[in-house]
Every structure is written in C-alpha cells, then in structure tokens.
A and B are shown apart, each in its own frame.
Chain A
Amino acid sequence: MKTIASPRIKILACLFFAGFAVLEWRLIHLQILRHDELEEKAENYRFTTRVEQAWRGQIQDRNGIQLALTVPVKNVYADLEVWTNRVELLAHIVAPLLGVDQAGLSRRVRQSLSVHNGPPTDRGPGVLLLKRGITPAEWAPIKEALAGETFGLPTNHLSSRQRTMLKGLRRWTLFAEDDQRRFYPHGESLAQALGFTGTGTNGHLLQGKWGLEASLDHLLAGENGVCVSSQDAAGNELAFCRTTNVTVRDGAHVVLTIDLTLQKIVEAALAKVVARYNPSNASCVVIRPSTGEILAMASLPAFLPQQPDRSPTATWRNHVISDRYEVGSVFKVITLAAALELGVVNLKQQINCENGTWIYKKSALHDDGHRNGILTVWECLVKSSNIGLAKIALLVGANRLYDFITRFGFDRATGVPLPYETPGFVRQPTNWSAISITRVAIGQELAVSQLQLAMAYAAMANDGKLMRPMLVRQLDHADGTLWGRYEPKCVRSVVRPETARQVREAMQDVVELGTGKAAALPDHTVAGKTGTAQKSDGHRYVPGRLYCSFVGMVPAGKPELVIAVAVDEPKDSAYGGVVAAPVFREIAEQAVILYAIVPDKGNGSFRPTIPSNNPNLHHDMIAMNP
C-alpha cells in the first residue's frame, strides 16, 4: 500500500521530542536541583512578621504622681524614590514645613541619593530619616499641607499619569512612623534614681539605660506583640499560617516608695548647701525605719533625664548607693551598739580618754580639738571621742566587732533595685593589722555606702531590726489594676530593742549637747550623729578633703524618719556638725509637718516654723496642722 505520509514527519517528530526533553530537563532543574533555593526565596516573599510595639509603663511616686511617662511621637521620613529628579522643588516645599534649612535638607537628600546611585535596582533608592520625635500635633498640619500641595503641577486638567504622580508625591514626599518618647515632668528631681532611656537595641523602641529605667526595664518594657505568618501578594495575612502569635502586653506601671514632695524638700535643702559650700557633691536619703521604705533619695549636682548627654556623666552617678566612703565618726554608733549589745560596757562606765593623745601599739590616736580626761561611755559618743570608742572596740574584740558590722549589713549590697550599687568594703579580721580595730571602731579602714549606713541607723531606729530597703512599692498592670505589692522585709534582728533605745538616747544627747546641735528641732526630739572624715587618696589622708555627714532620726523616742545627709568635699568650713547637720534640720522640720509627726518636746506651745512661702509643700498639708 502506498503511504501518503510525508517523510518529513520524522523531522517534525524529532523537533518535538527534543522540545519535550528540554522541558523535562528544565522541570528537573527547577524542582529538584534548584528546589531549596527557590523554596527559600518564595518563602521570603510570603513570610511576614508584624510587631506591635508595647507601650512603656509609667514610674510614679507613692502618691501616684507621674515621674516618668511615655508620649507618642512621630519620626518623619522621606521616600527618596519620589525625590529623585526633583530634590530642589521638594526641599523648597518641605523645609518650611519641617522648620529646617532648605540648603541643608537638599544636600542631605542628594547625599543619600548618590549613595544609591549604583546599578539601578527595582527596589528604589530607599528612605531617609528627616526628623525625629515630633509630636502628632506637629505632624498633622504637615500632612495636611502636603495633601493640598500641587507640587508645581497645573491645578486642573491633569492627565491620568499626572494624577497618579501627584497622588504619589502627596503620599510619599514625607511620611511618618510611630515612635515613643520618655518624658520626665519633674526635670532633675530624682534624676539619678530614675535614670533614663535610650533607643532600644532589644526590639523595643525605648530601652532603659540607667537607674530604675535600666534595672526595672524588664517590667517597664512589657512584651511586644509578634505575629509571624504568611501573606498573599497584596500583603493580606493568610488564614491558618501563623507560626508565632504573641499578643502585645504593655509595660507595667511602677509605683515607687519615693514621696515626691519630700524629695523636692530634700533637693531644695541640698541645693542650698551646694550653693553655700560648693562641694563636689551632696547627697541625702530619707528612710522610714519601720518598713525600710526609701522616701527620698537625692544627689546633687543632677542632670535632666530628658537629655542626659547634655550633662557630664559624673552627674549621672547616684552617690547614695554607688559611692563608698570611710565615713568616720558616724560609724562610732555601730561600735557602741555592739558593745552595749554584748554587755561589755554600760553607758555610765568610765573610759580614760588620755587627754587627747593615746599611743596604742606604737601608733598615735588623737581626739580632734578636745582634751578629754575621764569620760563616761555616754560622753564618749556625745563628744565623739576617737580614743574612747577605740578603747570600747578593744573591749568588744575584733571578731565580735566584725560580726556586728556584717550583721548591720556593711559587707554586702543592700539589694535596693538600682544598678551599680556598691557592696562596701570591709576586710576580714584576719587581714586586720594590730591597730585596725581602733580605726574600724571610728569608721576608718572600711568603706561603706550612704545607704548601708542609713539602713543601719534605721535598724537602730526600728528597735534593732534591720530592714531591706524598699524603693518599689507596687506594680500595676498597664490597665491600672494591681499586679503586686512589695511587703517590707526584715533582714535580721541585729540588736535588742533595749540596746537600740540606749543608743538612740545617747544620740539624742549628741544633738542636744554634743557635736550635732545644729540638727536640733524646736518641737521634736532628734537623735543623730555627725561625721567628719578625711578622704584618702589610696595611700594616706589628704588634708582639706573632707567628707561631712550627718545621720539622724526624728523623733528620738520612736523614730519615724531616718535622714542621712552627706556633703563631699565642702570648699570651706569642715565639720559634719556645721555643714551637714543644718541640712538635716531643714529637711526634718518640713518633713515632720508633711508626715504630721506629733511634737514630743517642749511645753506644748507648738508653732509650725515652716517658711510660709515654701512652694514644695502643699497648702492643704500645712493647713492640717493648726
């Protein structure tokens, strides 16, 4: 049979077979050899991570006054794609809106554009941050002005292409993204304790860098909402594709034990002493002995937490907790308490004070200014006799003295929730030299922080019970409901109540008769101790560099406040009784009114002695006291 089929069918068949082979090879190439690469790139398109920024919590004082809060701000960016080819025109429009220099703006844009002037990509030249942290109220008129701007295009009869261009220009010439800014309404108040925040490197917009902001960052920051999912090409999330889904949890509000009213009283008093004596710094901490709550904590000179970088970093330092000093005479109270607790002396016992100079183990110890003969233990404290206290310490013995020092908490950090707290410096008795005990007894050869000292005094005021210092009173959820409350915590009972009472009585006479007369209040009994310590440069004591301090409590019978004042290196005049004790008085005489502490001195003819024009006191609080 004659076939009608063309012989050229074979050519056609071969061509198509080759085509099929190429297609199959291509499929294997794409789906097996390049599978992993293409799968990953496909997922990059689909993958979407949305982050909802948690709102940083507030810091409040004990009365709910806001000390640090977060405000919404906008960061303004320029989409460089629409700026290309029309930098001058847009800079001319935008510069007055943003209130920046037009030439500088166009130069910045040009620079960013030239950076991207490499090989052209489909992605476009990116964005440029033009202005940080403007308020939403400032942004609204800018946005409005741009929405009505014509960008040099004719006002009517636009072609569809021009309309699209105008729309793009109005939308993307400037655009804003949400940001958060920390606001500290009370300026320098409590600056070192509050600390400050910086730009977050942990996924949050704000991150605590100093003070409470840093130490409580995990509570204040909250938890960002994160949603990891897949999206369609238009950017809509797909159903059932979420691999991570964390709901946003705003940061907690932290309520401090600080009383802002008292804090401002303290700061005003310190400011006065700073103005008068020009010390390198002055600090004060006020504690409620029954609970260990810190009511005020101030260091001067301070800084503005809003702009910490405008002040020297030295002003950031919280001298109450971060510095350790050889505190000198204020430490004698600890020695006395140990001796009384152990019963090695009683207050009436007589000590020979060697007329002011005592050679012990070939080393001379002096009493400054006085030539005391025989003194009672009581008088040793009142007159602040170095020789007397050294002899008492010898009766106590090195090991037992060290034991009391540690029981008062001088060998470790107090645990206040602030960063960079010093643990103090106390050597083991095995490392003490032969005369060390006589020096430790009067507050030398050991270094303690002001807070440690104040807490030890508070233990004396609290019938011998050492409390853990409290700075945070409670935590609230972001919606304002209570999350948790911190309870006062007793660390240990250091001395018997009787011992504590005896020490307080002795300290009361320090104020009434001895070195601390300047601290006395007209209507309230005060117990306290002055201290004037020479500062060493590491090898020997440097004359003229003094650390003046006063730690006192009011009222002496049943103390409700312990106030520790320290003035570091006052420029002239030099005694704790002269420099620091008046500060105590100034704080205490306002504090007794603030807390309505009942007068326990005098004949009942009580008159408030508050300067009537003190702006730091609420009028209603003054009115409460007739």
Chain B
Amino acid sequence: MRRVAKPNSAMKKNLIILVLCVAALCILGMVMLYSTAFKPADILRFRSQLNCLGVGLILVPLLVRIDYGWLERRPVLYAMGAIFVMLLIAVFIPGAGIQTNGANRWVRGLGQPSEFTKPAVITLLAACLARLGQGKIEDLKKGFLIPLLLGGVPALLIFVEPDWGTATLLGTLTLAMLLIAGARWSHLAFTMTGASSLFAILVACNPLRLQRFLVFLNPEAHQHGAGWQIWQSLLAIGSGGLWGHFLDGSLHKYGYVPEQQTDFIFARIGEETGLWGASLVVLLYLGIFLCGLHIMKGARDRFGHFLATGCTTVIILQACINIAVATSLVPNKGLPLPFMSYGGSSLLAMFICVGLLGSVAWHSDRDQMRNSTRSKPAAVQLALF
C-alpha cells in the first residue's frame, strides 16, 4: 500500500498562508498594472501578465505536489547547470540574444535566463551543500570554493550582460546560503570584502557611474538629471500620504516615473494606496518570510532545508531591495518586485521559487523520507496524481 504524501497540520497552515500572501500580492500587482495601462500597448502587457499568472496557477500546485527530492539527482543537476550556462552565454550571441537598452538580457523566445537562473542556482547550491557532511563545510576547497563557484559563475555571466542588480542578488544569495550552511566566518568575511572592494573599484573608476550610483543619497539635487526616476518615485510615494489617492486620483502615474510597471511599481502602490497599502505589501512579504522560516525549520532533509532557505531568501531579498530602491535607501539596482512587477520571466521564476518552497512544505513528513530515501522521478510522480 503506497502512502500518499501529505503535510502535517502545522505545515499545511504555513502553506496556506504562503499561498494567500502570494495570491494577494499577485492580485494587487495586477490592479496596479491595470492602473498604469493607458495605451493599447499597456493593455497588451496587462493581458500577457494575466497569461503568466494563469500559467502560475497550474505551475505552483504542480511543483508543490511533486516531490522536490528528484531534483537532487546528479543527472538532473548536471543537466540544469549545463543548460543555464548555455542560456546565459546565448544572450551574447547575435541572433539568439536580443539587445535592449545596451544590455544583453534576452534570449529569443525564452525570456530572460537571468531570472530563471535564480531557482536553478538555488537548487544547485542546495544540492551541493546538502551533500557535504557537517564537517566538510569548513573545508576551504570542497566546502566553500565549489559552492561559491556554483553561485559565482552565473553571477559573473549576468554581471557582464550587464545586469548588476541580479548579479549582486545572486552573489548575496550564495553568501546567505553558505552562511546558513555553516561556512566559516573567515571565509565569508574574506569573500564579502573581496567582492565589495571589486565592486567599489568598478564603480569608482568611472565618475559618471559613481555619480549615478550615489544619486540615491540626494535625488532632489539631481532631479533634472540622473535622479529623475528616484525623485519622481519619492514624490509619488510621499504624495500618497496615509490613505493614498486611489486609482482615479493619482496623477503622478502619467509618465513621471519611468519603469513604473516593472522596477518601480512600488511607487504606484505608495501613491495610490498610501501608507496602509504600502505597509500591507511589506506585511505580505513578511508573511512569506515567516512561512519560509517555518518551512526551512520543518524541512525533512538538508536539501529541502537549503532549498527553502534559498527560495525564501531570494524572494524576500529581492522585495526588500526593490522597495529600498523605490524609497531611495539604496542605489538604483533594477530588480523587479516579486509577484507584482510586470515581466513574465520574473513572475514565472518567482512562481518556481514559491513552488519549490511549497514542495518542501508538502513533503516535510520525515517518516516518509525514511521509507523512500530516493524519491521517484517527476514524470512518475505526475502519473501517480
């Protein structure tokens, strides 16, 4: 008699809260996207986002029900690694890659590989770290450099696209997972110092880049130049006040904030829903984070634990950085707000992360793990539904 995998009641609650938070963010995001849709092109964008949402409705439950254990298999991991390195290189190949705004971020027909790299890097790292024993993590070569390379190579490839935001995000994510895995503090500190000084040198050697980097300190002084976007975002958020102007009353959406459907959708939320709405969004991400924490703790194995850590970190980190950019707390990075910003690749990548997180929650029963140390391949699992 085969036991059907079922989460325990505490995990079930986590899962429900997680899904509700994500759903609420998606719906609010759609409302905001609709609020900025004036032209026929905007309506098309709204529809394509709706399509992606529909795909997510199927994708997330599917991922939740599939046992994440099959991802830990070596062939799957190697194949995944190879595919993503190829995709990240493909963006530079004329014909396959599409150049937009001077950056190679797109692969024709496949969206932005850098977005999908996030769950892939998480999986690879989680698998790598899970295989290491408790002691081996302190070994410099096996326990630190190899995981660092797993995260570092894609980050480097994305860095030269150039997409500094996603690269920084991936780097931070790798470090966070290494931290959780128990890497030596000295290793972490050394890597962080090295990476940040390299970054600082790259920024500082170009005065124009330095100026654009430091604009967030005083966007008002550069409001007619490099600080326009940030300053308009601040004006939009600030003019929202406590209650916001609602969809019909907000006037700052008419072209003042560039990229307000994507990276700066938080400016929309701030102006139209006020402090209450903006705080609700922050609260929803906090909810996702808390669910993620519980799922991490309740994971049935180390792979699940690291997978949950990675997925939670990438969602929350990205959300926090995005909101911090919109409120001019950190330099402009160009990261989308998970579940809310317009962008199919980003949305689907985030759905995959949520799906993996959900899968860890669903398959958290440790007795089941003892019964079957090796989970069945995904195709077999799908057939079992």
Contacts and interface: CB of A to CB of B under 8 A. Distances in A.
A238 interface: yes
A31 B274 contact: yes
Contacts of B224: 121-123
A230 B253 CA distance: 12
A119 to B, nearest CB: 10
B251 A238 contact: yes
A24 B319 CA distance: 13
Given A6-B305, A8-B180, A27 B254 contact: no
A12 B239 contact: no
Contacts of B301: 4
Contacts, number: 127
Contact of B181 (A6, A19, A41, A241): A6
Nearest to B176: A12
B195 interface: no
A432 interface: no
A572 interface: no
A5 B302 CA distance: 8
B51 interface: no
Interface string A105-125: 000000000000000011100
Contacts of B256: 45-46, 232-233
Given A27-B270, A42-B239, A3 B180 contact: no
B305 A23 contact: no
Contacts of B289: 16, 20
Given A1-B366, A32-B275, A42-B252, A9 B238 contact: no
A23 B234 contact: no
Contacts of B270: 27, 30-31
5 contacts: A5-B299, A27-B282, A31-B238, A31-B275, A34-B238
Given A20-B286, A22-B324, A31-B274, 6 more contacts: A19-B324, A23-B329, A42-B239, A45-B235, A122-B223, A122-B224
Given A8-B179, A13-B293, A27-B279, A39 B238 contact: yes
Interface in B66-115: none
Contact of B293 (A9, A34, A37, A38): A9
A35 interface: yes
A12 B179 contact: yes
Contact of B254 (A19, A35, A238): A238
Contact of B222 (A1, A38, A122): A122
Given A4-B305, A9-B297, A233-B256, A35 B238 contact: yes
A6 B181 CA distance: 7
Given A8-B179, A122-B225, A42 B238 contact: yes
B329 A26 contact: yes
Contacts of A23: 282, 320, 323-324, 327, 329
Contacts of A3: 297
B7 interface: no
A11 interface: yes
A4 B239 contact: no
A20 B317 CA distance: 10
Contact of A30 (B238, B302, B320): B238
Contacts of A35: 238-242
A28 interface: yes
A324 to B, nearest CB: 61
B236 interface: yes
Interface string B304-343: 0100010001001000100110010100000000000000
Nearest to A7: B182
B180 A9 contact: yes
A9 to B, nearest CB: 6
A234 interface: yes
A41 B223 CA distance: 11
B242 A233 contact: no
B237 interface: yes
Contacts of A45: 232, 235, 252, 256
Contacts of A1: 366
Nearest to B227: A122
Interface residues of A, number: 42
A6 B278 contact: no
B207 interface: no
B327 A27 contact: yes
B254 A233 contact: yes
A9 B302 CA distance: 13
Interface of B: 176, 179-182, 222-225, 232, 234-242, 251-252, 254-256, 270, 274-275, 278-279, 282, 285-286, 289, 293, 296-297, 299, 301-302, 305, 309, 313, 316, 320, 323-324, 327, 329, 366
A28 B238 CA distance: 9
* List of 5 A-B pairs having minimum Cβ-Cβ separation, nearest first: A38-B238, A122-B224, A232-B254, A233-B255, A42-B235
Contacts of B275: 27-28, 31-32
B327 to A, nearest CB: 5
Contacts of B182: 6, 8
Contacts of A241: 251
B236 A42 contact: yes
Contacts of A43: 239
A3 B45 CA distance: 46
A194 B286 CA distance: 78
Contacts of A24: 279, 282
Contacts of B254: 46, 231-233, 238
B320 A38 contact: no
Nearest to B130: A4
Given A6-B305, A233-B255, A241-B251, A31 B278 contact: yes
Interface in A33-85: 34-35, 37-39, 41-43, 45-46
Contacts of A11: 179
Nearest to B316: A16
Contact of B313 (A12, A32, A122, A230): A12
Nearest to A5: B297
Interface centre among A12, A23, A28 (most CB of B within 10 A): A23
Contacts of B235: 38, 41-42, 45
Contacts of A31: 237-238, 240-242, 270, 274-275, 278
Contacts of B274: 31
B178 to A, nearest CB: 10
Given A30-B237, A35-B238, A42-B238, A5 B282 contact: no
Contacts of B237: 27, 30-31, 38
Contacts of B316: 16
B180 A6 contact: yes
